[in-house]
A and B are shown apart, each in its own frame.
Chain A
Amino acid sequence: MMEWESWSAFWDMGGNAWFVWGSYSITAMLIVLELVLVLRRRKETVLRLLRLRRAAPYATGGQRMNEEMF
């Protein structure tokens, strides 16, 4: 490797492991969390709206009505 003498030197970050890896790990976790939340929201929205639609398939313009039925 170009910059590092060994993998352990890489992980040690010149004695700054907590500061460097603490930054990168929290960032990575937040990005994964955001992606999971966004994809889950999509699934939940589709399922919920489908349920509402099937409960009152002929109701038009009845957003309040639909929601109150549940």
Chain B
Amino acid sequence: MTTDTLNRAERSRSLFRFAAPQVFYPIAGRLAPWFAGIAAVLTVVGLYIGFFVAPTDFQQGEVYRVIFIHVPAAWMSMLIYLVMAFWAAVGLVMNTRLSFMMSQALAPTGAMFCFVALWTGALWGKPTWGTYWVWDARLTSQLLLLFLYLGFIALTRAIEDSRRADRAGAIIALVGAINVPIIYFSVQWWNTLHQGASVSLTKAPSMATTMLSGMLIMALAAWAYTFAVAFWRVRSLILERERHTDWVGAELEAEAKRQ
């Protein structure tokens, strides 16, 4: 029993080790290029399937090919917000600086995917619904998500004191997270113009296998891309926040020699 508790204590300590910015900094630096490479390969494969293998949709014609970016971008915009909220909660509870930095590193990428989802949705909506925009539940809650991202970014950058900025941002991230299930279930809860989910865990997907696989590969690409960019971004944040430590000093000098 004693060894068991010891092991558990050791294990939790080793997990916490990764929460130290000094430990995470080089790990993020080593992992980011791999994720970027995976993202690039998956994007090429996904686009090839999306444009050259997947057949024309019998209802929507060729314009449906927008879904290969629209759906992955929409998924990522929701997922990234939830991950941001998760790190914000961890930061508030455990008081780990790196958690807050991670949620701030993710925000711009989430905002980018959110904008892409709205933009591609508008361009798909015009030929399909006859309008670029309509104030229905799905579109409006997705637009709110974009404003939540922008609010989070503006707030965390406007507050000079990083501890206060972290906490204020964490509150937006946590409160705003309520919006994510609203977006996701909006097509069921309200009578929206937006079609229901084409892919769900409970029923068979309502689309051709090649279309589905192209979409899922693009979703994995978006996921790998997010890892790469967030890791690169968090490294700058870590340097900034830890600039008075000896290890950042050594890192900066090493970087100066490399240039």
Task: Report whether chain A binds chain B.
Answer: yes
Question: Do A23 and B120 have beta carbons less than 8 Å apart?
Answer: yes
Complex partner residue of B255 from A4, A24, A46, CB under 8 angstroms: A46
B63: which of A14, A39, A46, A61 is its contact (CB, 8 Å)?
Answer: A14
The complex places the Cα of A19 from the Cα of B125 at a distance, in Å, of 9
Q: Which residues of B contact A62 (CB under 8 A)?
A: 244
Q: Which residue of A lies closest to B231 (CB)?
A: A38
Which residues of chain B (115-131) have a CB below 8 Å from chain A? 115-116, 119-120, 123-124, 126-127
Q: Mark A48-62, 1 if CB is under 8 A from B, else 0.
A: 011011000000111
A2 CB-CB contact with B under 8 Å? yes
Interface residue? A69 (CB, 8 A): no
Q: A49-B252, A63-B243 are in contact. Are A23 and B229 (CB under 8 A)?
A: no
C-alpha spacing A24/B68, complex, angstroms: 9
Are the C-beta atoms of B62 and A16 separated by less than 8 Å? yes
Interface residues on chain B, size class:
35 or more
Name A10's contact: one of B51, B108, B119, B225 (CB within 8 Å): B51
Alpha-carbon distance between A22 and B200 when the two chains are bound, in angstroms: 28
**Would you call A23 and B244 a contact (CB within 8 A)?**
no
Query: Which residues of chain B have C-beta atoms less than 8 A from A49's C-beta?
Result: 239-240, 243, 248, 252
**Are B112 and A34 touching (Cβ within 8 A)?**
yes
Q: Are A23 and B69 in contact (CB under 8 A)?
A: yes
Residue pair B232, A20 in contact (C-beta under 8 Å): no
> What mask results when residues 29 to 50 of chain A are scored 1 for a CB within 8 Å of chain B, else 0?
0110011001101100110011
Please give the distance in Å from B124's CB to the nearest CB on chain A: 6
How far is A8 from B45 in the complex, measured between Cα atoms in Å?
Answer: 22
Q: Which of A3, A18, A26 contacts B52 (CB 8 A)?
A: A3
Provide a sorted-by-A list of 9 A–B residue pairs whose CB atoms are within 8 angstroms: A1-B52, A18-B123, A23-B66, A26-B116, A26-B119, A26-B120, A49-B243, A60-B244, A63-B244
Q: Which residues of A pack against B, CB within 8 Å?
A: 1-4, 10, 13-14, 16, 18-20, 22-24, 26-27, 30-31, 34-35, 38-39, 41-42, 45-46, 49-50, 52-53, 60-63
Tell me the B residues contacting A by CB distance below 8 Å: 51-56, 61-63, 65-66, 69-70, 73, 108-109, 112, 115-116, 119-120, 123-124, 126-127, 225, 229, 232-233, 235-236, 239-240, 243-244, 248-249, 252-253, 255-256
Seed contacts A3-B54, A19-B127, A49-B240; 19 additional CB < 8 Å A-B pairs = A3-B53, A10-B51, A14-B62, A16-B61, A19-B63, A19-B66, A20-B65, A22-B123, A23-B66, A26-B116, A26-B119, A34-B108, A34-B112, A38-B229, A42-B235, A50-B252, A53-B243, A53-B252, A60-B244
